[in-house]
């Protein structure tokens, strides 16, 4: 078992010279005297996000996240960067996040857990004691300031009908007079009744409330027992709240519709601004309240576009010809430009769209991924996190006039400077459909072209999303152990256009399988230093499914590690969080009218053809690929005398590899490497 290694240095206060804050290349030199990353290095990683620029543009807040001392969880704390570039602590808590500036810049509100409940705290912008202002019993999803500074907009999960004080007293009396143990049951009525990380879902729904800070009064604004109010945004004048919701009554039956609504705070009147069968969400408001922007897609498998809709009701699609999925749009103060990010060729890139012409422009070149974007109130600069295949995320500032990038933090520099890292190298090929497909390869550390090296084919999940120009410690750890690492953004991945991302629909184990195998053959043909007799395979989620699937078709891999996988689409369909409607969309029918589509694409059908020694990694609280999927695969391989072991992570969800308990996350990495080393 691995243990927490306490970081050697603390960066509680960091002075950066603005003259030296050039955009770091992120490519660390190869030095044979340096060691590579090992699983335990994860304990020393520092992550950051949620940057918030002050209304006066002279200070930036952000959330710094680290692994706690015993590796049982993570600490989060709010930090600040002043106008001179000095980085220092802003709050003292160990679970502080979601900082929000008041409109006048005099105060900061944030969330801190108190007795297991998220509460809003407020403190002066110039420092001092944080004051708890809410004492909520219901779950707080999000909050924001009203421009007046004396009220907060809260998003709370509440029961459809709140129980009166008299009813609560009656319930307590009944419990006290009943000598029998109370039944412990869950009543299921809807198709969607479980969620990864949530377990069985309650009948509570997210609704909007106004909280008067001075009076400590909470007033409910939206009501409904079959829908949730999502992504609320307060207008610049504080008169309206915009949100998205699925009011079809079918949200918990698997319907993916959502529309944009406007709520009049004074009258509580709700007006539908869109009425569309697709999904509208991710609202952004301009400074003059003249229109709104939001993201729209026709259905789950279509492109996500940025739409601008004016007071005349006319909708303008700014990204119709962009052929990428746009997200997180932000208005410029002049209301003429929207900034947004999109996956593109292995990187999450930053773009600007002209409201007048619809022209989309990429703002920053280079193979780096940009996330957590925020814009200054004067429209002169953006702050965001940026990362690459050899650089952990750090905060940067981008000047929109000069197009210069200035680095603001360097929390991970000392650790990375002591490590030998392997940069991702692009590999392109043309598949049988004539589509250009992008993959990547990491050479093993201390690479010598005269030697032969084993290779790990690491298959990403999804099938949406992408890998490439992002920080991914797992691939660095394989390279450090002497393996080449290869992975491909096969059909189904995002970042290559809608035709590419739709290419695997109703074809699981087809197009995705062929792209992976053709990519592997391309890598082997172009890199004779790879030992074709020492190939290994792993993947998680959809990558776990493909790991299982591929080992039913070939014995070319010396060992496999399948993680949070699917072994049978038959049992998967009836036990995971996705509804019959959603599975029908994926497979073109349900189990009764299209049974062969499910069973013929299930690795379990062909398990008797597997001979590859396999390690199964699964979590018992996984609601996306439930534990039974791993158990069935273990049973099948055991029954067919295949060398197999299964490691079950108790209490972990489908998210173990990204946000699981740190000590378990690291243990997972150690066991994967150990399995490959043993074979």
Percent of the chain residues past pLDDT 70, beyond the cut:
93
HSE, CB side, 13 Å, CA atoms: give it for residue 626: 16
77 — pLDDT class (breaks 50, 70, 90): very high
Q: What is the pLDDT of residue 173?
A: 61
- What global pTM score does this model have? 0.93
The 10s digit of each residue's pLDDT in 203-215 is 999 999 999 999 9
* Residue 484 backbone class (left: φ over 0; alpha: ψ -120 to 50; beta: rest): beta
The greatest distance separating any two alpha carbons of the chain, rounded to the nearest whole angstrom, comes to: 81
381/374 Cα distance (integer angstroms): 9
Q: DSSP assignment, residue 18?
A: G
The 10s digit of each residue's pLDDT in 596-641 is 999 999 999 999 999 999 999 999 999 999 999 999 999 999 999 9
154/141 Cα distance (integer angstroms): 8
β-sheet bridge partners, residue 228? none
The 10s digit of each residue's pLDDT in 404-434 is 999 999 999 999 999 999 999 999 999 999 9
Instruction: Report the Cα 73 to chain-centroid distance in Å.
Output: 18
Q: Is the pLDDT assigned to residue 1 strictly greater than 60?
A: no
Structure tokens at 50: 């949620």
93/112 Cα distance (integer angstroms): 8
Of 41-45, 162-166, 398-402, 657-661, minimum mean pLDDT range: 162-166
β-sheet bridge partners, residue 571? none
Residues 6+ apart with CB under 8 A from 591: 570, 573, 574, 598
168 — pLDDT class (breaks 50, 70, 90): low
507/600 Cα distance (integer angstroms): 11
Please check whether residue 668 is in contact with residue 656, taking contact to mean a CB–CB distance below 8 angstroms. Answer: yes
Q: Is the pLDDT assigned to residue 19 strictly greater than 80?
A: no
Please check whether residue 457 is in contact with residue 536, taking contact to mean a CB–CB distance below 8 angstroms. Answer: yes
**211-222 b/e with 16+ CB inside 10 Å = b?**
bebeeeebeebb
388/441 Cα distance (integer angstroms): 14
Determine whether 13 is exposed, middle or buried from the number of CB atoms within 10 Å of its CB (0-12, 13-18, 19+). Answer: exposed
Please check whether residue 246 is in contact with residue 227, taking contact to mean a CB–CB distance below 8 angstroms. Answer: yes
Residue with the larger pLDDT of the pair 508 and 127: 508
Q: Is the pLDDT assigned to residue 32 strictly greater than 70?
A: no
Q: Is the pLDDT assigned to residue 16 strictly greater than 60?
A: no
Percent of the chain residues past pLDDT 90, beyond the cut:
89
8 — pLDDT class (breaks 50, 70, 90): very low
Q: Is the pLDDT assigned to residue 170 strictly greater than 70?
A: no
Q: What is the pLDDT of residue 174?
A: 62
Q: Is the pLDDT assigned to residue 122 strictly greater than 50?
A: yes
């Amino acid at each position: 078992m691995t243990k927490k290694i306490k970081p050697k240095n603390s960066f509680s206060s960091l002075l950066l010279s603005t003259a030296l804050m050039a955009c770091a290349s992120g490519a660390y030199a190869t030095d044979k005297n340096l060691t590579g990353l090992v699983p335990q290095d994860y304990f020393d990683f520092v992550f950051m996000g949620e940057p918030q620029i002050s209304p006066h543009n002279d200070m930036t807040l952000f959330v710094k996240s680290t692994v706690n001392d015993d590796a049982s969880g993570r600490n989060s704390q709010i930090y600040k960067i002043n106008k001179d570039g000095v980085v220092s602590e802003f709050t003292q808590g160990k679970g502080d996040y979601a900082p929000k500036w008041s409109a006048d810049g005099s105060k900061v509100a944030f969330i801190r857990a108190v007795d297991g409940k998220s509460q809003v705290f407020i403190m002066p912008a110039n420092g001092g004691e944080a004051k708890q202002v809410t004492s909520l019993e219901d779950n707080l999803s999000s909050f924001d300031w009203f421009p007046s500074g004396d009220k907060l907009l809260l998003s709370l999960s509440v029961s459809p009908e709140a129980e009166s004080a008299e009813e609560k007293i009656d319930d307590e009396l009944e419990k006290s007079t009943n000598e029998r143990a109370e039944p412990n049951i869950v009543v299921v009525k809807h198709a969607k009744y479980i969620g990864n990380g949530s377990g069985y879902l309650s009948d509570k729904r997210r609704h909007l409330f106004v909280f008067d800070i001075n009076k400590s009064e909470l007033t409910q604004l939206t009501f409904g027992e079959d829908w949730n109010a999502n992504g609320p945004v307060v207008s610049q004048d504080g008169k309206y709240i915009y949100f998205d919701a699925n009011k079809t009554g079918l949200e918990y039956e698997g319907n993916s519709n959502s529309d944009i609504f406007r709520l009049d705070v004074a009258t509580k009147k709700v007006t539908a601004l869109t009425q569309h069968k697709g999904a509208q969400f991710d609202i952004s408001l301009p400074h003059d309240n003249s229109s709104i922007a939001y993201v729209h897609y026709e259905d789950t498998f279509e492109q996500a576009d940025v739409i601008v809709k004016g007071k005349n009701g006319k909708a303008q699609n700014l990204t119709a010809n962009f052929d990428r999925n746009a997200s997180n749009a932000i208005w410029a103060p002049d209301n003429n430009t929207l900034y947004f990010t999109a996956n593109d060729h292995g990187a999450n890139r930053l773009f600007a769209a002209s409201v007048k012409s619809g022209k989309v422009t990429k703002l920053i070149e280079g193979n780096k991924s940009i996330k957590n974007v925020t814009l200054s109130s004067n429209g002169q600069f953006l702050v965001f996190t940026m990362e690459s295949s050899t650089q952990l995320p750090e905060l940067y500032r981008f000047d929109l006039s000069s197009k210069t990038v200035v680095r603001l933090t360097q929390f991970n520099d000392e650790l990375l400077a002591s490590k030998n890292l392997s940069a991702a190298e692009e590999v392109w090929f043309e598949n049988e459909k004539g589509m250009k497909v992008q993959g990547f390869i990491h050479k093993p550390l201390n690479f010598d072209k005269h030697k032969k090296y084993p290779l790990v084919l690491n298959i990403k999940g999804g099938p949406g999303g992408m890998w490439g120009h992002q920080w991914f410690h797992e691939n660095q750890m394989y390279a450090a152990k002497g393996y080449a690492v290869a992975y491909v953004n096969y059909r189904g991945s995002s970042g290559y256009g809608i035709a590419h991302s739709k290419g695997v629909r109703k074809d699981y184990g087809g197009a995705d399988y062929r792209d992976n195998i053709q990519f592997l053959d391309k890598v082997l043909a172009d890199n004779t230093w790879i030992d074709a007799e020492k190939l290994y395979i792993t993947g998680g989620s959809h990558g776990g499914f493909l790991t299982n699937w591929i080992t039913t078709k070939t014995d070319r891999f010396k060992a496999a590690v399948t993680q949070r996988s699917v072994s049978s689409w038959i049992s998967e369909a009836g036990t995971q969080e996705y509804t019959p409607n959603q599975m029908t969309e994926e497979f073109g029918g349900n189990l009764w009218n299209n049974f062969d589509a499910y069973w013929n694409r299930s690795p379990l059908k062909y398990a008797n053809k597997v001979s590859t020694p396999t390690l199964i990694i699964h979590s018992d609280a996984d609601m996306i690929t439930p534990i039974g999927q791993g158990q069935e695969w273990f049973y099948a391989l055991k029954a067919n005398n295949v060398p197999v072991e299964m490691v079950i992570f108790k209490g972990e969800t489908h998210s173990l590899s990204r946000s699981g308990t740190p000590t378990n996350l690291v243990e997972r990495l150690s066991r994967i490497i150990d399995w490959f080393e043993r074979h």
